[in-house]
């Protein structure tokens, strides 16, 4: 097997662990598309990660140890709050463990949202770098919407917004968060706006700025929308308002 490019090996490991920012992710995606050696190395790394995470590979505490810990906790609880003897050592540790678990529960959704933001921005950058902005290139909304039929299991609205300063440019399929999504492309002067659409439960409106890109998200009628562009945040807000108004509101 041909060795991967020396200057990409560290990036490949960071890529597997979701540690790259959006710009580096997009650049590495473009490199992998044209480099079979790095593509093979990436598959090898993925396989190794899956094996390590598999059942029976990670060390698990023996049943005897679990039982002994359980008996100790039960004995301390039965002794009541007046007991300050040998067993009281576990109380601070238990409190710390509970606090750590609560922190993880609070941080996990934030980490997942940040990873999704990185994927969306990377998808926008990649579409510009590899000249794959559209699969169907037209400003006619009546041609773009039927093009999605049979390719995804929902029908995204595709309003024409040229009068509001955002002419329709086309559409394509993309892949975000492990699923195929619709990407509807609009223009704002010399800039492009990728509007990613997928079926999802309603969620709150969000606005994010990262690596020079703006993300605006909202929900309507069982669909989640995420507009990504390098235009200014006020311009992207104007686009969102125009799209929502043209599609009948949230």
The predicted-structure confidence for 3-61, as pLDDT tens digits, reads as follows 788 777 778 878 887 777 787 888 888 888 888 888 888 888 887 767 666 555 455 56
Closest CA to 223 of 202, 249, 209, 194: 202
Task: Return the sign of the alpha-carbon dihedral for residues 146, 151, 156, 161.
Answer: negative
pLDDT tens digits, 120-150: 888 888 888 766 777 888 878 888 989 998 8
pLDDT tens digits, 82-121: 554 555 555 565 555 565 554 444 444 567 777 878 888 8
- Asked whether residue 159 falls in the same domain as residue 234, the answer is yes
Could you tell me if residue 185 is inside a domain?
yes
- Asked whether residue 35 falls in the same domain as residue 122, the answer is no
Q: How many domains does the chain have?
A: 2
- Asked whether residue 126 falls in the same domain as residue 213, the answer is yes
Confidence of residue 215 (pLDDT cuts 50, 70, 90): very high
As a whole number of angstroms, the distance between CA 69 and CA 222 comes to: 47
- Asked whether residue 233 falls in the same domain as residue 134, the answer is yes
Could you tell me if residue 77 is inside a domain?
no
Report how far apart, in Å, the C-alpha atoms of 43 and of each of 25, 50, 149, 169 are. Answer: 16, 11, 32, 35
- Asked whether residue 32 falls in the same domain as residue 141, the answer is no
- Asked whether residue 237 falls in the same domain as residue 133, the answer is yes
Q: Last residue of a domain, which of 20, 35, 53?
A: 53
Name the H helices within the chain: 9-16, 22-34, 36-53, 63-79, 90-129, 141-147, 233-246
Given a contact cutoff of 8 angstroms between Cβ atoms, the answer to whether 155 and 145 are in contact is: yes
Global pTM value: 0.57
Could you tell me if residue 138 is inside a domain?
yes
Which residue range forms the structural domain that includes residue 172?
113-246
Q: What is the mean pLDDT of residues 227-248?
A: 94
CATH code of the domain in which 148 resides: 3.30.200.100
Q: What is the mean pLDDT of residues 159-176?
A: 93
Could you tell me if residue 90 is inside a domain?
no
Could you tell me if residue 170 is inside a domain?
yes
Percentage with pLDDT > 70 across the chain: 77
- Asked whether residue 140 falls in the same domain as residue 228, the answer is yes
- Higher per-residue pLDDT: 170 or 94: 170
Could you tell me if residue 137 is inside a domain?
yes
CB-based burial, 57-66: b 16+ in 10 Å, e otherwise: eeeeeeeeee
- Asked whether residue 40 falls in the same domain as residue 123, the answer is no
Tell whether the model's pLDDT for residue 234 goes beyond 90.
yes
Tell whether the model's pLDDT for residue 151 goes beyond 70.
yes
Could you tell me if residue 165 is inside a domain?
yes
Which residues, in sequence order, are CB contacts of 128 under 8 Å at separation 6+?
A: 192
As a whole number of angstroms, the distance between CA 45 and CA 19 comes to: 15
């Amino acid at each position: 097997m041909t060795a991967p490019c020396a200057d990409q090996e560290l990036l490949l490991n960071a890529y597997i662990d979701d540690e790259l920012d959006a710009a580096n992710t997009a650049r590495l995606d473009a490199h992998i598309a044209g480099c079979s050696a790095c593509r093979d190395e990436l598959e090898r790394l993925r396989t190794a990660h899956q094996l390590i995470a598999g059942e029976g590979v990670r060390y698990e505490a023996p049943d005897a140890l679990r039982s002994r810990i359980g008996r100790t906790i039960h004995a301390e609880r039965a002794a009541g709050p007046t007991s300050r003897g040998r067993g009281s050592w576990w109380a601070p540790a238990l409190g710390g463990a509970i606090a750590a678990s609560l922190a993880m529960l609070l941080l996990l959704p934030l980490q997942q949202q940040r990873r999704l933001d990185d994927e969306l921005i990377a998808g926008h950058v990649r579409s510009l770098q590899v000249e794959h902005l559209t699969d169907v290139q037209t400003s006619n909304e009546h041609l773009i919407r039927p093009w999605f039929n049979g390719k995804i299991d929902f029908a995204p609205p595709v309003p024409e917004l040229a009068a509001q300063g955002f002419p329709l440019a086309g559409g394509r399929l993309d892949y975000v968060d492990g699923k195929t999504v619709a990407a509807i492309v609009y223009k704002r002067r010399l800039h492009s706006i990728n509007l990613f659409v997928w079926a999802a439960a309603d969620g709150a409106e969000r606005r994010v700025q990262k690596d020079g890109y703006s993300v605006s998200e909202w929900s309507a009628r069982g669909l989640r929308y995420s507009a990504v562009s390098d235009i200014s945040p006020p311009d992207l807000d104007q686009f969102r308002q125009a799209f929502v108004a043209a599609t009948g509101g949230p």
